[in-house]
Structure 1
Amino acid sequence: MTDLSPVAAVERRIDVLRALDGAPDSKVGVAERVDISRSTAERAMHELATHGFVASSSDGYRVTIPGRLALDAHGQRAARIDAAAAVAPLFDGVSLSFDLDPAVLDGVRVVEAQPHAPTRPVECVSTLVADATHVSAYTGRFLSRHARLYHDRILDGMTGCFLTTERIIERQRTTRPGELQEVIDLGHVSLRRLDRDDPVTLVLAETPDGPEMGLVVYRDESPRGFLGTDDPAATRWARALYERLWTAATPV
């Protein structure tokens, strides 16, 4: 049975909807532009008009405001699917205790570690927090370069909230003795411990231009790659996730 839903209609008639997006046209004109028969063009117009995505005017059929919204939504969906394929190698074999929101894929920048440039994801985090006034970070992995980065930025005046495991806290104390207590004593850092051990680092950076989020994905202890975006829906998701983790964690 044919699916008569608006979603199915847009999927079936997307070429017609795109053809009308530039300027109104007749059924004959659309048939020629999309290279379909006139009867197919007529059925497409009728189906799209039934859902309010096109309407007849003195200049021919035109895309309505809802029709443009449907086009944008279809484009976002396609872009998210392409982005999901681009990040798939980073998540091969990775299991997380939380779900990623699809908004993370909107406007995402993907940087993979390469054999000749294994620190590229770490450099992305450095760029992310370079101008930050505050960071909220959750990590299930320890990188000495990240520890040094946060330490130096906090001494420069940045504040931070950090969530991690007991193992990583002890490693920080062993690897860089005194540094953790130094920034805590400044009053610029809040630290909490949790039991989960996801192979990622999530960073939400508050910057003068607004919030940005970054996610580093690891293979064992080495960064596979970095995902970054300042999309508002993505940063809202990152903030909500961090707040849930923070509430469930134990103060150090």
Structure 2
Amino acid sequence: MDRALEEIEFLARSANRIEVLNAVRDQPRTRRDLQERTGASQPTLGRILQDFADRNWVVRTADGYAATATGRLVAEGITDLRDIVETELELRGVVRWLPTETMTFDLRRLHSATITVPSQTRPSAPVQRVTELVRQADRVRVVSHAFNERTLEVVRERTVEAGGTFEGVFSASAIEPVAEDAVLRKRLRDLVAAENAEIRIADGDVPLAITVTDGVVALLVRDDNGMLQASLETDDGQVRSWAEDLHERYWTEARPLEERELAE
């Protein structure tokens, strides 16, 4: 086996090894400190520290055990690998449908994302989660290929009745079914007429559905047949910047939806 893989396996076989190495990465730690942080017994800690000393990953100082330069390098690397794998496990069920070609941020930024999936009792759970975020927000920005009845009603309530702001960019195919329904057309017209709301129509397809509610980004994920598979929700700063830039780009290139286009 490759020596590097052997060392990775050595660390991966014991969570205590990783915890100890991370603990001494930034400052010296006594054995008592390490025992309190890891819960490992003193004999176990002794073996771990000796193994690390043999590899020149730690040295003993007057203040306890400290990581060497290479020890810090290994600690950072194994932590990065762990984060990557944890993120992959989180996204494994939905990654095939993510619009990764448009995602300019590191996928590790989705490590702590909340993923909501449909269930037998709540088949529309992802959409319900996004509408909950919209209902609680003061400012809502959307780029989407869909605009369903429930989302339209919640957005109208937040803007027309509660004074929130809304800036939505939709594909023509998302607006057309709404405009053709008499009841939905009236709600859409109320929204377009509101001073604190604006809807724009994008030329061509919109390949994703993103909602920015104050500081939170929600992404609705659909499969190749258009079936809703999940919503991903995060307040990560880099993901938010990406979503805001994407909205701005679509917003600048789209045309405003005029109230006269929704006349009876």
Residue type of the alignment partner of 1:33: L
What is residue 42 of structure 1 aligned with on the other side?
A: 53
Residue equivalent to 1:196: 205
Gapped regions of structure 2 (runs ≥ 5)? 32-40, 258-264
Select between 169-178 and 239-248 the one with higher mean Cα deviation: 239-248
Which residues of 2 match residues 107-146 of structure 1 at below 5 A?
A: 107-146=112-151
8 Å contact from structure 1 (residues 204, 213) kept in 2: yes
Taking the aligned partners of 2:185 and 2:62, their CA distance within structure 1 comes to: 77
Shift of 1:202: 0.7
Instruction: Find the counterpart in structure 2 of residue 18 from structure 1.
Output: 19
- What does residue range 1-252 of structure 1 map to in structure 2 within 5 Å? 16=17, 18-20=19-21, 21=23, 23-25=29-31, 32-33=44-45, 35=47, 38=50, 40-44=51-55, 46=56, 48=57, 56-63=60-67, 71=75, 74-75=78-79, 78-93=82-97, 97-99=101-103, 101=105, 102-155=107-160, 156-175=162-181, 176-194=184-202, 195-198=204-207, 200-206=208-214, 211-219=215-223, 220-252=225-257
Aligned residues: 232
The alignment's TM-score, normalised by the length of structure 2, stands at 0.71
Q: Deviations over 1:126-155 (max 9, x none)?
A: 221222111111111232221222122212
SS in structure 1 opposite 2:86? helix
Query: How far is 1:67 from its partner?
Result: 7.2
The percent of aligned pairs where both chains have the same amino acid is 19
Residues 94 and 235 of structure 1: CA distance in aligned 2, closer, same or farther (over 3 Å) = closer
SS of 2:198 mapped into structure 1 = strand
1:89 is paired with a residue whose SS is coil
Preserved CA contact (<8 Å) 2:209 2:219: yes
Pairwise CA distance, 1:104: 4.2
Answer yes or no: is the 8 Å Cα contact 1:113–1:119 preserved in 2: yes
What residue identity is the alignment partner of 1:165? Answer: S
CA RMSD of aligned residues (A): 3.6
